Amino acid sequence: MSIHKFPHNFLWGAATASYQIEGAWNEDGKGESIWDRFSHTPGKITNADTGDVACDHYHRYTEDIALMRTLGLKAYRFSTAWARVFPSGRGCINTKGLDFYDRLVDAMCAANLEPFLTLYHWDLPQALQDQGGWTNRNTAYAFADYAAVMTKCLGDRVRNWTTFNEPSVITFIGNLTGEHAPGIKDTKISYQVAHNLNVAHGLGVQAIRSANSKVNAGIVLNLWMAEPATEATQDVEAANNFWDVNETLFLDPIFKGFYPPAVYEAIGEKMPEIKDGDLALIAQELDFVGINYYSRNVISASGKMNKIPGSAYTEMGWEVCAPALRRMLVKINSEYKLPPIYITENGSAFQDTISSDGKIHDPERTDYLRQHFIQTHLAMQDGVDIRGYMVWSLLDNFEWGHGFSKRFGMVRVDYETQKRTIKDSGEWYAEVIRTNQVRE
């Protein structure tokens, strides 16, 4: 049996996001966000679920931080709800909203957790959406103001700042397929959104740094490795092209300073308006990059394959393929000059059942994590500089369009009673953290 021993300062953690766990959607002066609006619109979310209460974390954060201590986490990745702090997106600060994050961060520090703060995990203030949202370049300036206020207030305790979580999901699921808020379905708009997000990222990094020169700034990108169905040249070319068109829209401008030629070819005149200086603004040097990895796409010359024979799938219908994580990390590490990497999300949804002993035995989730930890360790041995790992997710939570029907947590949440129960995978993770190693 081989043992994968991690460096002593490797940061093991867990991740969540404001809308998915906080609840208290209209308390203490919070403004409406696009996710409040979207989930309150009939027909958008499975079972008409909403994040109105979710895990009620707004009121139960002390208990949740105690859980993190029980698990022995060293880091906690969370996001702040822009509309809690600026109910209309800009202008007057809602001090009660800011106070919540102030208390939350204090509680993390008291529990010896390294905070990783994400400024934008998809919950844009509705008031800004009413003025065009991310299609309006002014939203990028409002974002930079919000970033500055948050950094001034929390930068003395929060060292790691992320501008955006998964800009490609905002772009394509929010504005091309319309399955996420704000529910727009328009190719031209989606690419304009992508560019404005990139601009907002650049402005955000500048704002964070001028508010506090000591903190680290980065971004979190979700990447699905693209792999050929066979070794035939046509499949390999199709997979490479799929990667270039679908996965490099943020990697290239941020780490190379230009938009990928393959995207120009695919999109043509629907490419966004780019102003002079934008590309330099976007390519700010970063202190870290977060990578979210869940699965891969398998591509043949005739398109994307639906089911891979012999592969296991999660409840999301995503193939379990940990070796593709290693291959992808090695690939991006050789193609880009990257800062230190954190795996900022990785995890799986499975149908959990409560056993007669009251426990949640979730061997598939444990096995999923084990495989991905091992492949990450192998990538580190290949020379990729990976500093930490945030499991998605600490708690079962509101899984966007799927509502509460998909459970990703290492801790079960009973949404009727708000009772938390650590699943077997959580116990297993605690042991990984304690020993700082994974056994094959």
What whole-number distance in Å separates Cα of residue 416 and Cα of residue 13? 27
Q: Which of 81, 46, 2, 71 is nearest to 393 (CA)?
A: 71
Q: Phi/psi of residue 245, each to 5°?
A: -75, -35
379 contacts ligand FCB (rule: CB under 6 A): no
- Site for ligand FCB contains 22 (CB under 6 A): no
The single residue listed with the structure tokens 């109105």 is: 52
Report the residue from 345, 362, 364, 396 that binds ligand FCB according to the rule CB under 6 A: 345
Residue matched to tokens 């679920």: 49
> Binding to ligand FCB by residue 288, rule CB under 6 A?
no
CB of 254 to ligand FCB, least distance (A): 18
224 binds ligand FCB per the rule CB under 6 A: no
What residues contact residue 34 under an 8 Å CB cut-off, 6+ apart?
Answer: 122, 123, 124, 125, 126, 129, 133, 181, 182
Asked if residue 71 binds ligand FCB (CB under 6 A), the reply is: no
Binding footprint of ligand FCB, residue count (CB under 6 A): 12
User: Which of 25, 191, 293, 408 touches ligand FCB by CB under 6 A?
Assistant: 408
- Whether the CA torsion 56, 86, 203, 192 is positive or negative: it is positive
Active site residue 269: no
Residues 249 and 191: their CA atoms lie apart, in Å, by: 9
Residue 118 binds ligand FCB, judged by CB under 6 A:
no
Query: What are the two backbone dihedrals, phi and then psi, of residue 64, each rounded to the nearest 5 degrees?
Result: -70, -35
Residue with the two structure tokens 């990578």: 291
- Residues 10, 400, 404, 428: which binds ligand FCB (CB under 6 A)? 400
The reply to whether 25 sits near ligand FCB by the rule CB under 6 A is no
By CB under 6 A, what part of segment 313-342 binds ligand FCB? none
- Residue 312 CA to residue 371 CA, distance in Å, equals 13
H or E segment to which residue 247 belongs: helix 233-247
Comparing CA positions, the residue from 74, 70, 68 lying closest to residue 10 is: 74
Residue 285 annotated as catalytic: no
80 binds ligand FCB (CB under 6 A): no
The active-site residue, picked from 166, 247, 319, 399, is 166
Site string (158-187) toward ligand FCB, x via CB under 6 A: -------xx--x------------------
Q: Given the structure tokens 């068109």, which residue do they identify?
A: 245
Question: Of 107 and 394, which CB lies nearer to ligand FCB in the complex structure?
Answer: 394
The residue among 202 and 401 lying less far from ligand FCB, judged by its C-beta, is 401
Strands 341-345, 303-304: pairing is unpaired
Interface with ligand FCB includes 191 (CB under 6 A)? no
Among candidate residues 161, 157, 277, the one with its CA nearest the CA of residue 208: 161
The residue from 22, 319, 345, 364 that is catalytic is 345
Q: Following DSSP, what letter does each residue of 279-321 receive, concatenated?
A: HHHHT---SEEEEE---EEEEETTEE-S--TT--B-TTS-B--
CB of 376 or CB of 393, closer to ligand FCB: 393
If the CB atoms of residues 260 and 401 are measured against ligand FCB, the closer one turns out to be: 401
Q: How far is the CB of 20 from ligand FCB (least distance, A)?
A: 6
Q: Which two tokens stand for residue 308?
A: 């891979």
Between 94 and 397, whose beta carbon lies closer to ligand FCB?
397
Helices (H), 312-362: 323-335
Residue of 175, 222, 248, 425 that binds ligand FCB (CB under 6 A): 222
Closer to ligand FCB by CB, 224 or 242: give it.
Answer: 224
Binding footprint of ligand FCB on the chain (CB under 6 A): 17, 20, 165-166, 169, 222, 292, 345, 392, 399-400, 408
- Active-site positions read 166, 345
